[in-house]
C-alpha cells in the first residue's frame, strides 16, 4: 500500500521495515531533516558517535557481532568522507552495512557548495554499491535494494546519498514493492558437478586440511564446518578472519597460518595434499609467494563470489555457492574416514613447533596480558582488536571457544577499529562481555569514542597493550630497514588512567604479571566501561614470522 510521506519519514519507515533498531551517526546540516523526524520513531535508537569513522566502525562491529546490517548516518562533505575508512574496512572484510549520508540540495550539486563532496564518486571502490537518490519517490525502493545488496551474496557496505531537499520532499513509498535488480544474482546451491568433484578430491585425499575463512563466519556455518571436519577427520586451519569459526579447544583445531600465524598451521598447509578452502580469498598474508604456496596440494575453493576463484591461487576444484548450502550438499557425499597418520603428523607438528610459547620473564609482555584475559574470561568474551602486534598476540593467545567472537580488521588492516567496533558489538550484545584489545597507537586514533561508551553506559572493557611504541613498525624497521628507527616511539602518550577519569569511566593500571588476574577480574566486575592500561615491555618482536612475499621455507620461528 503506497504511503505519501516526506523523504525523512520514508527513510525511517524503510529502516524499521528492514528490522533496524540501532543507528550510529552524527548530524550535520545536510542530514538535519532526517534527524528532525527521529523523535517520531522511538524504535530507531540513535547512538551519537564522536567521529564518523567511529560511527562506521561501530556499525561494522554491530553487524559482525549480530549478523544483521549495521547502519551509519553522516552529513555531507567531511561527514561523509570521514566514513570512508569505515566503509573500506567493511568492504575488505565483506561486512553488511548501509550508510546514509546527507548531500547538499539538488540545485547545489556540482557547484562546490558548502560541505559538498561527491561521495558516491569517492566511495565507488569501497562500497559494494552506492546510490545518489534524486527523488523522494525513489527513496524507499532504494533503501530496500541497498539492504538486499548489503546482506545477500557476498555481503558488503552500501552507501545512499540523499540531498537535503529530498529528505524534505513528499514522496510515494510502497513498503511492499519487490526489489528488482536484473544485474544482481545471489548464489545459493553450487552446481552438483562442482560438489561431486570436490567430494571426490576429499575422499581421495590422504593429507587434507580445511582452510576456514570469513565466509564460514559470515554464512554462520559453524555447525556444518564442525560436522564435515569430524566426519572425515580433517584438521581445521582458520584464516585470521576465520578465527572463532571453529572451537580452538577442539582436537582438530590447527591454528591460523601465514605471516604471524602458528608455524604448525603454515606447515600443515605446506605439507597437505589437499586444501579445502571455505570462504577465504587466499589473501597474501596467508599465501606469501604464490608460486611456492602449498605446491604439493590440490585445492578446492568454495566461495560465493566467482571473482575470487583463481584470483591468486589456481584451484583444481572451484565450487561457487553459498557456503552453508555447499556444506549441506557436500557433507553427505564425503566418506567417514580417519586420517590417522596425517593427524598424528599434525599433532607432531604442533608439538615440535609450539609457536605459542609465553616468554619466561618477570617483565610484563603482551602475551602475558592476552593469556590472562583468555584464562580469566574463559574464552567467553567478544574480542575486538586494532592492527599490529597486539592484534596478532590476541589472535595467537586468546583461546576462542564461542562462534563469531572475534572482530578484527583483517583485509584493510585499520588501526583505530578497536575502540568503536567494541561499542557496536556491545550495543548488539548487551548481555555479553566485550573486551577490546588495543595498542596504544590505534587506541589514540579513535579514543574520542570513549565518550560514546560512557554516554550510553556501554560496559566495554579496553585493554591497552601500552608500550609507547608502534610495535609492528618498530619490528619492521628492525628487520627490514637496518634498525633505522623513525617515527616509531610515542614519547608523550597520555596517562590512560587519568584519561579514563576524564571521561568519567574506570581506569586501572597494571605493570606486573601478578596484578593481571585481579585487574581483569575487577574490570569484568565493574558495571560500566573500563580502561586497563597494561604497561608492557617497550620492545618485543612478534613471532612466528614469514616475511611478506616469502614462503614457509623462510619462516622465522623464534630466535630467542
Q: 156 with 90: CB under 8 angstroms?
A: yes
Does 305 bind another protein (CB under 8 A)? Our answer is yes
Rg (CA), the chain: 24
Does 184 bind another protein (CB under 8 A)? Our answer is yes
Catalytic choice (365, 445, 472, 545): 472
Distance CA 347, CA 341 (A): 10
3-state secondary structure 469-531: ECHHHHHHHHHHCCCCCCCCECCCCCCHHHHHHHCCCEEEEECCHHHHHHHHHHHHHCCCCEE
Distance CA 71, CA 412 (A): 20
164 among known catalytic residues: yes
Candidates 51, 57, 64, 128; binder of another protein (CB under 8 A) is: 128
- Closest contact distance (angstroms) between CB of 98 and another protein is 14
Residues numbered 135 to 174 that lie near another protein (CB under 8 A) are 149
Distance CA 234, CA 22 (A): 40
Candidates 40, 43, 78, 124; binder of another protein (CB under 8 A) is: 124
Q: Is 482 left (phi over 0), alpha (psi -120 to 50) or beta?
A: left
Does 558 bind another protein (CB under 8 A)? Our answer is no
259 among known catalytic residues: no
Could you tell me which residues come within 8 angstroms of residue 68 by beta carbon, excluding any fewer than 6 positions away?
19, 62, 96, 151, 428
Does 120 bind another protein (CB under 8 A)? Our answer is yes
Q: Which is nearer to another protein, 124 or 177 (CB)?
A: 124
534 among known catalytic residues: no
Q: 426 with 459: CB under 8 angstroms?
A: yes
Q: Which helix (H) or strand (E) holds 30?
A: none
Kindly state the cell numbers that stand for 310: 583463481
Distance CA 209, CA 510 (A): 41
Distance CA 273, CA 288 (A): 19
Does 186 bind another protein (CB under 8 A)? Our answer is no
Distance CA 320, CA 283 (A): 18
Kindly state the cell numbers that stand for 139: 527513496
- Closest contact distance (angstroms) between CB of 88 and another protein is 13
Kindly state the cell numbers that stand for 359: 616468554
Per CB under 8 A, the segment of 67-75, 189-197, 301-309, 545-553 that binds another protein is: 301-309
Catalytic choice (115, 233, 399, 550): 115
Candidates 307, 358, 521, 548; binder of another protein (CB under 8 A) is: 307
Catalytic choice (13, 52, 224, 308): 52
Does 559 bind another protein (CB under 8 A)? Our answer is no
- Closest contact distance (angstroms) between CB of 282 and another protein is 13
Q: Which is nearer to another protein, 95 or 199 (CB)?
A: 95
Binding mask 75-114 for another protein (x = CB under 8 A): ----------------------------------------
- Closest contact distance (angstroms) between CB of 27 and another protein is 27
Distance CA 287, CA 550 (A): 8
Q: 136 with 7: CB under 8 angstroms?
A: yes
Opening angle at CA 417, ends 412 and 418, nearest 5:
135
- Closest contact distance (angstroms) between CB of 52 and another protein is 23
Q: Which is nearer to another protein, 376 or 412 (CB)?
A: 412
Residues numbered 436 to 465 that lie near another protein (CB under 8 A) are none
Per CB under 8 A, the segment of 179-187, 202-210, 445-453, 465-473 that binds another protein is: 179-187
- Closest contact distance (angstroms) between CB of 183 and another protein is 4
- Closest contact distance (angstroms) between CB of 290 and another protein is 12
115 among known catalytic residues: yes
- Closest contact distance (angstroms) between CB of 133 and another protein is 12
Partners of 535 in beta bridges: 466
Report the relative pairing of strands 70-74 and 236-238 from DSSP bridges.
unpaired
Burial class (CB in 10 A: 0-12, 13-18, 19+), 301: buried
Does 181 bind another protein (CB under 8 A)? Our answer is yes
Does 188 bind another protein (CB under 8 A)? Our answer is no
Does 19 bind another protein (CB under 8 A)? Our answer is no
91 among known catalytic residues: no
Does 42 bind another protein (CB under 8 A)? Our answer is no
Per CB under 8 A, the segment of 107-115, 218-226, 309-317, 441-449 that binds another protein is: 309-317
Binding site for another protein (CB under 8 A): 120-121, 124-125, 128-129, 132, 149, 181-184, 305-307, 309-311
Catalytic positions, please?
A: 52, 114-115, 164, 472
Amino acid at each position: 500500500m503506497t504511503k505519501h510521506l516526506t523523504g525523512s519519514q520514508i527513510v525511517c519507515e524503510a529502516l524499521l521495515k528492514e528490522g533496524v533498531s540501532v543507528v550510529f551517526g552524527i548530524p550535520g546540516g545536510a542530514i538535519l531533516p532526517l534527524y528532525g523526524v527521529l523523535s517520531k520513531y522511538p524504535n530507531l535508537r540513535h547512538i551519537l558517535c564522536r567521529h564518523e569513522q567511529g560511527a562506521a566502525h561501530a556499525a561494522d562491529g554491530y553487524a559482525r557481532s549480530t549478523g544483521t546490517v549495521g547502519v551509519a548516518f553522516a552529513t555531507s562533505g567531511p561527514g561523509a568522507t570521514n566514513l570512508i575508512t569505515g566503509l573500506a574496512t567493511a568492504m575488505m572484510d565483506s561486512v553488511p552495512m548501509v550508510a546514509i549520508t546527507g548531500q547538499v540540495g539538488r540545485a547545489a550539486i556540482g557547484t562546490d557548495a558548502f560541505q559538498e563532496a561527491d561521495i558516491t564518486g569517492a566511495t565507488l571502490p569501497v562500497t559494494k554499491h552506492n546510490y545518489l537518490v534524486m527523488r523522494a519517490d525513489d527513496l524507499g525502493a532504494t533503501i530496500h535494494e541497498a539492504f538486499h545488496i548489503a546482506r545477500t551474496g557476498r555481503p558488503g557496505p552500501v552507501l545512499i546519498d540523499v540531498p537535503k531537499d529530498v529528505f524534505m520532499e513528499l514522496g510515494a513509498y510502497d513498503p511492499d514493492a519487490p526489489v528488482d535488480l536484473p544485474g544482481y544474482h545471489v548464489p545459493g546451491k553450487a552446481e552438483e558437478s562442482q560438489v561431486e568433484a570436490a567430494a571426490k578430491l576429499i575422499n581421495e585425499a590422504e593429507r587434507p586440511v580445511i582452510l576456514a575463512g570469513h565466509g564460514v563466519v559470515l554464512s554462520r556455518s559453524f555447525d556444518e564446518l564442525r560436522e564435515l571436519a569430524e566426519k572425515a577427520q580433517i584438521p581445521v586451519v582458520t584464516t585470521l578472519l576465520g578465527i572463532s569459526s571453529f572451537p580452538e579447544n577442539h582436537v582438530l583445531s590447527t591454528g591460523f597460518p601465514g605471516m604471524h600465524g602458528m608455524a604448525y598451521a603454515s606447515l600443515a598447509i605446506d605439507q597437505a595434499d589437499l586444501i579445502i578452502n571455505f570462504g577465504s580469498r587466499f589473501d597474501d598474508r596467508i599465501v606469501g609467494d604464490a608460486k611456492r604456496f602449498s605446491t604439493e596440494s590440490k585445492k578446492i575453493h568454495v566461495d560465493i563470489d566467482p571473482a575470487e576463484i583463481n584470483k591468486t591461487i589456481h584451484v583444481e576444484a572451484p565450487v561457487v555457492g553459498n557456503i552453508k548450502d555447499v556444506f549441506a550438499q557436500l557433507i553427505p557425499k564425503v566418506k567417514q574416514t580417519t586420517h590417522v597418520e596425517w593427524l598424528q603428523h599434525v599433532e607432531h607438528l604442533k608439538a615440535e613447533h609450539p609457536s605459542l610459547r609465553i616468554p619466561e620473564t618477570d617483565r610484563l609482555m603482551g602475551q602475558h596480558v592476552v593469556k590472562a584475559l583468555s584464562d580469566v574470561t574463559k574464552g567467553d568474551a567478544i574480542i575486538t582488536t586494532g592492527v599490529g602486534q597486539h592484534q596478532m598476540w590476541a589472535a595467537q593467545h586468546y583461546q576462542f571457544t564461542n562462534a563469531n567472537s572475534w572482530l578484527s580488521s583483517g583485509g584493510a588492516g585499520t588501526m583505530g577499529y578497536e575502540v568503536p567496533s567494541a561499542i557496536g558489538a556491545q550495543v548488539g550484545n548487551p548481555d555479553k562481555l566485550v573486551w577490546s584489545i588495543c595498542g596504544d597507537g590505534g587506541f589514540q586514533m579513535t579514543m574520542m569514542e570513549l565518550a560514546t561508551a560512557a554516554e550510553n553506559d556501554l560496559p566495554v572493557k579496553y585493554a591497552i597493550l601500552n608500550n609507547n611504541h608502534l610495535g609492528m613498525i618498530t619490528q619492521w624497521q628492525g628487520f627490514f630497514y637496518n634498525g633505522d628507527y623513525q617515527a616509531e616511539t610515542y614519547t608523550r602518550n597520555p596517562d590512560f588512567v587519568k584519561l579514563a577519569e576524564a571521561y568519567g569511566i574506570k581506569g586501572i593500571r597494571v605493570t606486573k604479571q601478578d596484578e593481571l588476574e585481579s585487574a581483569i577480574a575487577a574490570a569484568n566486575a565493574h558495571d560500566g566501561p573500563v580502561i586497563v592500561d597494561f604497561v608492557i615491555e617497550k620492545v618485543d618482536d612478534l613471532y612466528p614470522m614469514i616475511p611478506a612475499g616469502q614462503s614457509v621455507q623462510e619462516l622465522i620461528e623464534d630466535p630467542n
